[in-house]
């Protein structure tokens, strides 16, 4: 197909409550959506970048700039393209994986609409529903944290992930484990907040029988993670460090992790995310699907990805009402701790024009 135009849509989605991690506190999700226009219809993509370069070097305004200036013009000048051609065509531009992922997602969505095929079928998904965990931000106090966790367990979430940082780690984890028991699937996420010198501190988490410690060290410190893994009983999971299937293979070879969190936006798109999955599965490394506080557009695609056979741990693909006051698609509702994998053509959802208009900050058409 040939791209005739690409629309960049900036939205601001208020959160139900502030979300706090070691790298940021967020009260609303500033979001970049893409709509590609072809002769045969349209396709939608969502950029995972945050407003500031705190999770990775990418940020919303930067993603919009590189899309406008380099990525979109390259695809429009390429003539007839397919989704498989997007990554090779954009490879000469270094980095900017989240921007590339959003554009590939929109092209893939348009292609699948034309073929009347679901993303789940295209990726090779094997399940109709996906078990859902929830990511719990840092609270003002331990009693407040326990109230929040109790609410999510009452809603049916099957796994709890606690954000941690130095000074908010051992005691919150101890409190949650003592309050809710050993049967609750529990893990923690540091977003790179620790250093190799914190090994003894992190080892104090071993008695709590956690599923994993996610990204304890800086993203570029694979050797540090490998050394830390030798000192901890709790499995290390890598998130920010894994930016491609090749890096995943390196990390596994170095024994820097025993589990991998796959985020399509972080690795450059859903096609590369499937390759990361395949590498991990070939090495017997379990994976799960992370979340960038996406709208229903990104959530629908994430659910298709999380239904691949190697995703054996519950991910962060929470229901729409976990974060948002207003969802821009039909909401995803939790049923018995699971969300359904969309089975309709393309990613399975389309933004509702009235809701998009209500939340839009800026629209820009590139043609």
**24-38 β-sheet, strand order:** 41-47, 24-38, 3-21, 360-366
CA angle 313, 207, 179 (to 5 degrees): 80
Tell me the residue range of the domain where 98 lies.
3-115+350-366
pLDDT reported for residue 142: 97
Q: Is residue 233 part of a domain?
A: yes
Residue in 276, 277, 299 with CA at minimum distance from that of residue 347: 299
The two structure tokens encoding residue 210:
């956690």
212 and 265 co-located in one domain = yes
Q: CB-hemisphere CA count at 13 Å for 26?
A: 25
Residue in 310, 317, 361 with CA at minimum distance from that of residue 341: 317
Which residue's structure tokens are 């929040």?
148
Q: Is residue 334 part of a domain?
A: yes
186 and 303 co-located in one domain = yes
Q: Is residue 54 part of a domain?
A: yes
Q: What SS3 class is residue 51? A: coil
Q: Give 153-190 as a DSSP string.
A: HHHT-SEEEEE-BTTBSHHHHHHHHHHH-TTSEEEEE-
130 and 249 co-located in one domain = yes
Q: What is d(CA 107, CA 3) in angstroms, rounded to the nearest whole number?
A: 9
Residue in 25, 18, 72 with CA at minimum distance from that of residue 51: 25
298 and 280 co-located in one domain = yes
Considering only the C-alpha atoms of the chain, give the largest distance between any 2 of them, rounded to a whole number of Å: 60
Under 8 Å between Cβ of 11 and 364: no
283 and 174 co-located in one domain = yes
151: how many CB neighbours lie within 10 A of its CB? 12
Q: Is residue 345 part of a domain?
A: no
Q: What is d(CA 196, CA 222) in angstroms, rounded to the nearest whole number?
A: 11
**Domain count across the chain:** 2
156 and 208 co-located in one domain = yes
Per-residue pLDDT of the chain (367 residues; tens, 9 = 90+): 899 999 999 999 999 888 888 777 889 999 999 999 999 899 999 999 999 998 899 999 999 999 999 999 999 999 999 999 999 999 999 999 999 999 999 999 999 999 999 999 999 999 999 999 999 999 999 999 999 999 999 999 999 999 999 999 999 999 999 999 999 999 999 999 999 999 999 999 999 999 999 999 999 999 999 999 999 999 999 999 999 999 999 999 999 999 999 999 999 999 999 999 999 999 999 999 999 999 999 999 999 999 999 999 999 999 999 999 899 999 999 999 999 999 888 898 999 999 999 999 999 999 8
148 and 179 co-located in one domain = yes
> CATH number, domain at 11?
3.30.390.10
> CATH number, domain at 299?
3.20.20.120
Which residue's structure tokens are 């893409």?
34
316 and 237 co-located in one domain = yes
pLDDT reported for residue 15: 92
78 and 129 co-located in one domain = no
66 and 197 co-located in one domain = no
pTM above 0.85, yes or no: yes
Tell how many helices (H) and how many strands (E) occur in the chain: 14, 13
Q: Is residue 283 part of a domain?
A: yes
The two structure tokens encoding residue 126:
């094997």
Q: Is residue 142 part of a domain?
A: yes
- Measure the CA dihedral 228/229/231/233, to 10°: 140
Question: Pairing mode, if any, of strands 259-262 and 24-38?
Answer: unpaired
160 and 298 co-located in one domain = yes
141 and 282 co-located in one domain = yes
Under 8 Å between Cβ of 142 and 173: no
Query: Mind telling me the catalytic residues?
Result: 163, 263
pLDDT reported for residue 283: 98
State phi, psi for 304 to the nearest 5 degrees: -65, -40
Q: What is d(CA 351, CA 44) in angstroms, rounded to the nearest whole number?
A: 8
Q: Is residue 46 part of a domain?
A: yes
Q: Is residue 19 part of a domain?
A: yes
């Amino acid at each position: 197909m040939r791209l005739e135009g690409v629309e960049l849509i900036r939205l601001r989605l208020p959160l139900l409550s502030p979300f706090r991690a070691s790298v940021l506190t967020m009260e609303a999700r500033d979001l970049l959506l893409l709509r590609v226009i072809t002769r045969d219809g349209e396709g939608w993509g969502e950029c995972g970048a945050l407003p500031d370069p705190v999770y990775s070097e990418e940020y919303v305004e930067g993603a919009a700039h590189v899309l406008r200036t380099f990525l979109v013009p390259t695809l429009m000048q390429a003539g007839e393209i397919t989704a498989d051609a997007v990554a090779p065509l954009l490879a000469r531009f270094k980095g900017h994986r989240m921007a590339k992922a959003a554009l590939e997602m929109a092209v893939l969505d348009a292609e699948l609409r034309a073929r009347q095929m679901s993303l789940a079928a295209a990726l090779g998904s094997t399940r109709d529903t996906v078990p859902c965990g929830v990511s719990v931000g840092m609270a003002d106090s331990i009693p407040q944290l326990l109230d929040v966790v109790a609410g999510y367990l009452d809603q049916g979430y099957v796994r709890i992930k606690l954000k941690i940082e130095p000074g908010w780690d051992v005691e919150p984890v101890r409190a949650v484990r003592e309050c809710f028991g050993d049967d609750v699937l529990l893990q923690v996420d540091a977003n790179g907040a620790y250093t190799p010198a914190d090994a003894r501190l992190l080892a104090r988490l071993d008695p709590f029988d956690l599923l994993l410690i996610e990204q304890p060290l800086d993203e570029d410190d694979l050797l540090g993670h490998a050394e830390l893994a030798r000192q901890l009983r709790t499995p290390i999971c890598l998130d920010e460090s894994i930016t491609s299937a090749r890096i995943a293979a390196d990390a596994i070879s170095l024994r820097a992790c025993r589990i991998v969190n796959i985020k399509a936006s972080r690795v450059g798109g859903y096609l590369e995310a499937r390759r990361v999955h395949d590498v991990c599965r070939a090495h017997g490394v379990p994976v799960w699907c992370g979340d960038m506080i996406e709208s229903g557009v990104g959530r629908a695609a994430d659910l298709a990805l999380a239904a691949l056979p190697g995703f054996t741990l519950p991910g962060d693909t929470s229901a729409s009402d976990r974060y948002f006051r207003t969802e821009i698609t039909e909401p995803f509702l939790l049923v018995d701790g699971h969300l359904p994998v969309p089975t309709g053509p393309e990613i399975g959802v389309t933004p509702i024009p009235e809701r998009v208009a209500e939340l839009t900050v800026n629209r820009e058409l590139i043609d």
